[in-house]
Every structure is written in structure tokens, then in C-alpha cells.
Structure 1
Amino acid sequence: MSRIGKKPVELPSGVSANLSGQTIEVKGPKATHSFTATDDVTIAIEDNVVTVTPRGKSKRARQQWGMSRTVVANMVKGVTEGFKKELEIVGVGYRAQMQGNILKLALGYSHDVDFEVPKGVTVTCPKQTEIVVEGDDAQLVGQVAANIREWRSPEPYKGKGIRYKGEFIFRKEGKKK
């Protein structure tokens, strides 16, 4: 039994959901999102509450049950609050700045890295060593943050690189004489 799948998703005021077949569409003040569930689950909307139930007891149906419920919950959160990932840049001379739709990163390479920000996501740099990725799609926000981090992921000896805010980097001891 899926503990996550059992929980109903409540629709806050200002959010509406429409169901047509296996496709659910969620409209809110920030955006509109839709999701088509597999035939392994059943989605129902009653009294501003969305419930997801599995069809059958197969392993795939139970997997899709929790995943589908989480996707619907993320859509509801995305159209009301939105999602946010914060990144920190650690290293001498490492910095970031926005120029229009392009994030310019100086990461110790012989050239600056130009990262083009996709549509549906806003990237801001409150400081030269901070990057904030915001948007209404959880998957897209996480993917953009991961792509930025990939340019210089933190190394274990000095801890230099791009890390998520609050991320713990396991540090290694250097060579001894």
C-alpha cells in the first residue's frame, strides 16, 4: 500500500481542476498544467479534493499510484506557490550574473560559461555568488538547477563549485607527507 498515494490532494481556493478521461488539468493564479495518467490508476475529483486509486494490485499499478498522486500535488503547488531552488557558488573568482535571458558563469575555465535559461523558468542572481531558480513546474526547476550545478559540481577537497543551498559536501583529507 502506498502511503503517499492514499493521501488526497486538496485544491486551495482559486485553483480548479478538470478531468477528461485520464487527463487532469489544473488551473491556478500562476499557470495551467495538465497531466495524463496511465491506465493503471483512476483519478477522481470530489468536493475540491483529488484522489488517486490504483486499478488492480500489480506492481506497476502500485508504482504509478504514488507517482501520479505526487505529480498532481506538484501541479497544485506549482499553480499556487511555485517552486524555488537556490544555488551557492564557492570558489575564488567564481561568480554569476544575468544578462537578459543568459546566465553568465565565471567558473575558473578559460572562458565564461553562457547558460541560456529556458522558458517557464526565471533565474536571478541576488549576489554574485548566489543563483535563484524559480518556476511553476517542479521538474523543470529541478532540471535547470541541476544543469547549472553540472558546470562545476563541488569537489571534495576544497569544496569549490556550485552547490545547492544547505547541501553538505563530504570533505576528504588531502595528501600527507
Structure 2
Amino acid sequence: MSRIGKKAVAIPSGVTASIEGKTLTVKGPKGTLTLGLSDLIDYKVEGDEIQVKPANDTKQARAFWGMQRTLVSNLVEGVTEGFAKTLEITGVGYRAMGQGKKLKLQLGYSHDVDLDVPEGLEVKTPDQTTIVISGIDKQSVGQFAAEIRRWRKPEPYKGKGIKYRGEYVFRKEGKKK
């Protein structure tokens, strides 16, 4: 039995959820999100909660159960509060600048890295070494943060690179003579 899947997803006031065919649509103050529904799972919108249960007792249905409940929960949380990831840049000369729908990064390469901000996301640079990515879709926020981080992952000797706020970078000692 899935401990996560057994819990119903509460729908807060101001949020509406509806199932039409094979899609779940959740509307809230921040926007609208949809989720394609799996045939292995039964979804029911009852009052102020969404119930997620396996359609049959197969191993695959039970494996999908907790994940599908978490995806539904992420939809509800996204339209009410939204999601945000903060990246920190460490290194001499490394900086970031937000320019409208573009993000310009200087990361020690011979060229600047210009990234287009995906639709539905907002990127802020409170200072030159901090990037805050926010949006209502958890997957797209995390994906864009990972794409930015991929340009310069934190290295263990000097700690230079782009890391998530709160991420621990294991430091190594350099060579000795």
C-alpha cells in the first residue's frame, strides 16, 4: 500500500478541479494546469478533495499510485502558491543579468551564455550572483534551473560554479608538494 497515495489531495478555497476525458484541469489564482491521466489509476473529485486510487491490483498500478497522487498535489500547490528555485553563482567574474525574456550569464567562457526564459516562468536576478526562477509548473521550474546549472556545475576544489541554494558541495584538498 502506498502511504502517499492513500492521502486525499485537499483543494483549497479559490481552486477548482475537473476531470474531462483523460485530463485533470486545476484552476486557481495563479493560473491553470492540466495533467494527462493514466488508465491504471482512478481519479475522483469529491467536494474539496481529489481521491487517487489504483484501478486494479497489478504491480504497475500500485507503482504509479503514489507518483500520480504527487503529480496531482503539485498541480494544486502550483496554482495556489507556485514554485521557486534559487541558484547561487560562485567565482571571480561569474555573474548573471536578467534582460526581459533573456538571461545573460558570464561564466568564464570566451563568450556570454544567453538563455531564453521558457514561457510561464519568471527569472529574477536580485544581485549579480543570485538567480531566482519561479513559476506554477514544478517540472518546468526544475528543468530550467538544471539547464542553467549545467553550464558550470560546482567544482570541489575551489567551489566555483552554479549551485542550488542550500546545496552542499563536498570540498577536496588540493595537491601537496
Q: Same fold (TM over 0.5)?
A: yes
Find the counterpart in structure 1 of residue 36 from structure 2: 36
Kindly report structure 1 stretches of 4+ aligned residues shifted beyond 6 Å. none
The answer on 1:150 being equivalent to 2:150 is: yes
- Give, in whole Å, the separation in 1 of the partners of 2:35 and 2:100: 31
Find the counterpart in structure 1 of residue 48 from structure 2: 48
Find the counterpart in structure 2 of residue 162 from structure 1: 162
The residue type paired with residue 76 of structure 1 is V
Q: Give the SS at the match of 1:42.
A: strand
- Give, in whole Å, the separation in 1 of the partners of 2:123 and 2:149: 13
Structure 1: which 5+ residue stretches go unaligned?
none
Whether contact under 8 Å (1:22, 1:43) holds in the other structure is: no
Find the counterpart in structure 2 of residue 109 from structure 1: 109
Q: TM-score, normalised by structure 1?
A: 0.97
The residue type paired with residue 17 of structure 1 is A
The answer on 1:123 being equivalent to 2:151 is: no
- Give, in whole Å, the separation in 2 of the partners of 1:149 and 1:92: 17
Q: Percent identity?
A: 60
Q: Output aligned runs, 1:15-94, within 5 Å.
A: 15-94=15-94
1:59 offset after TM fit, Å? 1.9
The residue type paired with residue 6 of structure 1 is K
- Give, in whole Å, the separation in 1 of the partners of 2:158 and 2:17: 49
Q: Give the SS at the match of 1:87.
A: strand
- Give, in whole Å, the separation in 2 of the partners of 1:88 and 1:109: 18
- Give, in whole Å, the separation in 1 of the partners of 2:116 and 2:39: 37
1:64 offset after TM fit, Å? 1.3
Deviations 1:132-155 (A, max 9, x none): 000000000000000000010101
Whether contact under 8 Å (1:22, 1:42) holds in the other structure is: no
Find the counterpart in structure 2 of residue 8 from structure 1: 8
Q: Give the SS at the match of 1:175.
A: coil
1:67 offset after TM fit, Å? 1.1
Q: Give the SS at the match of 2:110.
A: coil
The residue type paired with residue 107 of structure 2 is L
Which shifted more, 13-22 or 124-133? 13-22
1:161 offset after TM fit, Å? 0.2
Q: Give the SS at the match of 1:38.
A: coil
The residue type paired with residue 34 of structure 1 is T
The residue type paired with residue 56 of structure 1 is N
- Give, in whole Å, the separation in 2 of the partners of 1:149 and 1:59: 36
The residue type paired with residue 139 of structure 1 is Q
Q: Give the SS at the match of 1:69.
A: helix
- Give, in whole Å, the separation in 2 of the partners of 1:64 and 1:16: 24
Structure 2: which 5+ residue stretches go unaligned?
none
Deviations 1:16-44 (A, max 9, x none): 00112332110001111111211100001
